[in-house]
Amino acid sequence: MQDAHQGCISMPFYKGGDLDAWIRDNPFADLATRRRIAIGLLYGLHDLHSRGSVHCDIKPKNIFLAPSLSPVLGDFDGVQMHDVTMTQPLQTPIKYMAPELLRDEVVDKIEPAVDMFSVSVRPTALEALHHEAFQVEPVKEASCAICLNVYPADEGVSCADGHFTCKKCLGHSVRAAAQPDAHVNFLRNGNMCCVASDCELLITGHSNATAVPEDFANWLNIVRKHFERDAAAEQERQLQLRLDAALREHGLNPTTQNYLHTIQDSVLVMSCPRCSTAF
Ligand SMILES: [Zn+2]
Ligand SMILES: [Zn+2]
Ligand SMILES: [Zn+2]
């Protein structure tokens, strides 16, 4: 459909790549994920068929994957209307091509069953969707409040109001929180203020730790060091106060003053000159 009289179909670029690459790169993908992709594909075909079109070139290379692994049909070059004579040669690999298209004769009637052969089933897409193999709980999806991409809801963290942050953006946030003067609001116990601008709810440190364990452990380490440094500084301040009070009280006695100075030197210098952590 690239003719000037017919217009063209433009599609977003799918970073998830195509199903062909996904199958190659994920040989051990779990059944639920495979099933989810198959269901998405059947819904897409059902939608196309119910609009009177047949794709005619269903193969993994023509199925793109959104970040949530929702499949998206692509390459509409070979799309035919129902019941028309086949006008274009097909690029489909033989293993995905319906037998009626392989016969050495003009195909005078394109049926949706052509696409269904390519996905290994011959009932209609809707009938296939009703098969028990595809009766699964729909996966809850959520749009990330930071990057706006859609992910399965368990691939990130959410506040009680359902504001969702994907793992990638959460990782960025946790790393940002570890910087001095961080703009990201993390509490010392690992709880995080929800990223939605008008939301006061918290996301627990536990869910943060589960979602991005490495970044979180790193952040925790930094917080612990800060805490130790603050505690040491406070300890030193208390000691200094007591020494000052003692000096005031015994200010006129040079022996006591000398004695206190010795304590001051030997005790108070015993801390790191850079960060004041007590040795
Ligand atoms: Zn995100
Ligand atoms: Zn929220
Ligand atoms: Zn130090």
Mean pLDDT across 192-203: 87
User: Which CATH architecture group holds 19-134?
Assistant: Orthogonal Bundle (1.10)
SS3 content of the chain, % helix, strand, coil (to 5): 45, 10, 45
Which one is predicted more confidently, 189 or 171? Answer: 171
Longest dimension (CA), the chain: 117
Collect residues with CB below 5 Å from ion ligand 1: 144, 146-147, 166, 169
CA of 27 to the centre of ligand 2 (A): 37
Is residue 168 within 8 A of residue 195, CB to CB? The reply is no
Torsion of CA 153, 156, 157, 162, to 10 degrees: -30
Residue with tokens 């949706």: 112
Ligand with an atom nearest the CA of residue 193: 2
Ligand with an atom nearest the CA of residue 233: 3
* pLDDT > 70 fraction of the chain, expressed in percent and rounded: 70
pLDDT at 1 over 50: no
CA of 273 to the centre of ligand 3 (A): 7
Which one is predicted more confidently, 257 or 40? Answer: 40
Assigned token pair, 82: 């129902």
Is residue 41 within 8 A of residue 119, CB to CB? The reply is yes
Task: Kindly list the domain boundaries of the chain, sorted by start residue.
Answer: 19-134, 141-211, 229-268
Is beta strand 164-166 parallel, antiparallel or unpaired with respect to 150-152?
Answer: unpaired
Instruction: Report the 10 Å Cβ neighbour count for 172.
Output: 17
Q: Distance between CA atoms of 107 and 175, rounded to whole angstroms?
A: 60
ipTM: 0.62
Is residue 170 within 8 A of residue 164, CB to CB? The reply is no
CA of 73 to the centre of ligand 3 (A): 58
Q: Distance between CA atoms of 220 and 212, rounded to whole angstroms?
A: 12
Query: Left if phi > 0, otherwise alpha if psi is -120 to 50, otherwise beta: which for 273?
Result: alpha
pLDDT at 125 over 50: yes
* pLDDT > 90 fraction of the chain, expressed in percent and rounded: 9
